[in-house]
Chain A
Amino acid sequence: MADVLHEEDKLHGLEGMDKQKLKDYWAYSVKLTIYTLIVWAVVTYGCAAIAGSLNSIVIFGFPLGYYMGAQGSLIIYVWLIFNYAFKMNKADKDYGVEEEE
């Protein structure tokens, strides 16, 4: 029977947790994930799709369409991940699922 968990793969953390809180926490992470992915998709594919017209805007020598592909999107990616990390780390505490110190 393959549908059992091997002893050393067993995980902890659920013991004594409030079911509703777990649900709310997961709903929050799903929401934050979706927001993050929407921004990610718009910055990557949205900007690339209209890069030609964005190029008519020139800032500091940079055509905007080119800039978004070369650097702008990267800055936003870095921000997205840190934003996600800080919000999730805070949510851990708010929902009482943080790691024990």
Chain B
Amino acid sequence: MASVGGKSFLDNLGKIYAIYTGVFILFVIALGIGESMGMSNAAIGYTYMGITIGLYAVIGISSRTAKASEYYVAGRSVPAFFNGMATGSDWMSAASFIGMAGTIFGLGYDGLAYIMGWTGGYVLLAVFLGPYLRKFGQFTIPDFLGARFGGHAARTIGIIAAITASFTYLIAQVTGVGIIMSRFLGLDFTIGVFVGLGGILVCSLLGGMKAVTWTQVAQYIILIIAYLIPPTVMSYKMTGVPVSEIMYGQILQKIDAKEKVINADAKETEVRELWKQEAAKLDADIKGLPGSLDAKKADLQAKIAAITPESPAGEKEKLEKALKALPPDAEVAKEKWDAAKKAAAAKSKPIKPYIEPFARLDMKNMLALTFCLMVGTAGLPHILMRYYTVPSVKDARISCGWSLFFIFLLYFTAPAYAAFARDTVLSNIVGLPIASLPAWMANWAKVGLVSFKDINADGILQFYELTIGADAIVLAMPEMAGLPYVISGLVAAGGLAAALSTADGLLLTISNALSHDLYYKMINPQASILKRLTVSRILLVLTALFSAWVATFKLTIIVELVAWAFSIAAASFFPALVMGIWDKRSNKAGALAGMWIGFTTCLVYMIGSRFYGLDIWGIRTISSGLFGIPLGFIACYAVSRMTAPPSQELQDFVESVRIPRGAAKASTHDD
């Protein structure tokens, strides 16, 4: 095979990836045959991980480069179609792949905020930024801020925002890698994280953007195959037509009918009543703090002290565990019990219809979340950066379309996933005797993704006795559909591809912000290409190790942080970038004011609403960007008008960004 990224490679992209897809499918079939001949689940898991990571490594290593334009922007030679695929896997993270269908499963209509938010943002990107950034045609997003708003100040804020947003996002991906590795291979979480890390580094270290691009295309193909197979089979089994995206309409009707039946069921009412009592009990405990916590502690200690050799075996361990699980102080207890009370209270009410809008989130919060996710999507540097890699402005425009198309294939299917899973749970699981629940539930209960508790002790599973984690929907779907383990392994490989591809893009964004923007542009502009690339690679390794180290703490706040990253990117980057292109009159002072005010407003609302009870119009923390985004625009506009206009030279620069003519060309040789 010719070297990856070389001319003969670029000329034969379609053929090469078609063969790759075919070989991968044959490989899955071969594993399936292996399974039917007795290959163990563990062996299948290891084969998947070994083969796919090995594949990425081969692409990564054969894309090694010593040219700056290839390392930073893949030589600007990625065709629009393939850049779309690469952007698709760059964009779709572990959360999209594993978590999103589950979020819709739980939130019903209101969960669609994620579907619209994470796709509609591409419209903003396509009309406001993508093509214009391609015309500008440097290496990073801070590059644009630095050029347009002169000097180091704007670039510095750009670097800070790029790193803040990308790093929190990166930790979530690395955590995702660790979870998949530990669940499917039985590896220890920490080992899983570091094995995955090797997979990430081997892709980006030698070839930078060029290697990441061609690996991401390969990863996209695996993740989309893995995502589409289970719901397609499910649809065929349940409706006779293997097109889940169309057939789940009937399933929605079934869900609606079934929910009404459950709400009317006497046993279900009994369970809801029990949850109501539980919520009241928790409420009393919270009001009785700190005395109620001390009383619980004293009670358990007394019971442990009263243990005699005749007590049942394991009794002591059980009590000690319960004692240890008690919150350490009243403040933690309040937070914990409040959450438990809310969960219990939610289970004390009849099920709200799945398809009813604003049943679980109110309308303004749902729309605010959609808005923040959209603007955040258009402001995330690891995505924007991808539009530097296409050969022309024309291609950048078309490539935005392909990007969304490839993302669309997955997002279009997620609501179907959710509907089929919900129907399975409502129609086939709820009402079963607890003793005869399907095996997949026990499997996922072991890792805590599924839990059930027979609180009315009738031996039958009621709806509100079951809790299903969002991640369980996609991961357990192959088993729900009765598919062999080879498909479960494929889904895991797909999830891994989603997490790795996003991690690659983020890692590169961070190390480029440091090596290109901070080191080369601000500290040592005389550095040779070799030196710059060496610095970049060292930083890549250090960032990767640091993120893995942070991930091993398994901080629970990570998921929240990811949502914060969107609001931060939306409030700090988006206004300055858009004004830089769309408003000739915007100047340095305006941009700095806009970025700074957007960033701090967003941060203040986040921290204030999350920890100190700050509340404006009842907007939740996750949509904090709602205030920062408009204020960022207003500040940029107003401060620019109060200060001197930018020089003629800069105004001409803006004019030339707006037209495609004169864009830097793809470079197949060096710069």
Contact = CB atoms under 8 A, between A and B. Distances in A.
A37 B128 CA distance: 10
Q: In the complex, which range does the number of interface residues on chain A fall in? A: 35 or more
Given A11-B662, A80-B123, A97-B660, A3 B398 contact: no
A13 B127 contact: no
A11 B115 CA distance: 38
Contacts, number: 190
B463 to A, nearest CB: 21
Contacts of B245: 71
B112 interface: yes
Nearest to A97: B659
Contacts of B374: 44
Interface string A1-19: 0111110111111110100
B31 interface: no
B657 interface: yes
B361 to A, nearest CB: 11
B333 interface: no
A99 B663 contact: yes
Interface in B144-165: 146-147, 150-151, 153
A81 B355 contact: no
A52 B252 CA distance: 15
Contacts of B411: 74
B436 interface: no
Contacts of B398: 82, 85, 89
Interface string B252-267: 1100000000000000
Given A2-B151, A71-B245, A97-B659, A62 B646 contact: no
Interface stretch (B88-96, B336-344, B389-397, B451-459): B389-397
A44 B370 contact: yes
Interface in A1-48: 2-6, 8-15, 17, 22, 25-26, 29, 32-33, 36-37, 40, 44-45, 48
B contact face: mostly helix, strand, loop, or mixed: helix
Interface string B640-671: 00000011011011011111111100000000
Given A51-B109, A66-B355, A84-B127, A77 B650 contact: no
A3 B393 contact: no
B116 A81 contact: no
A14 B650 CA distance: 13
Nearest to B136: A11
Contacts of A65: 109, 355, 357
B355 A55 contact: yes
Interface string A57-87: 0111111011101110111011011101100
A3 B650 contact: yes
B21 interface: no
B371 to A, nearest CB: 8
A89 B660 CA distance: 9
Contacts of B394: 85, 89, 92, 98-99
9 contacts: A4-B647, A13-B656, A37-B127, A44-B120, A71-B245, A71-B412, A74-B116, A82-B401, A85-B397
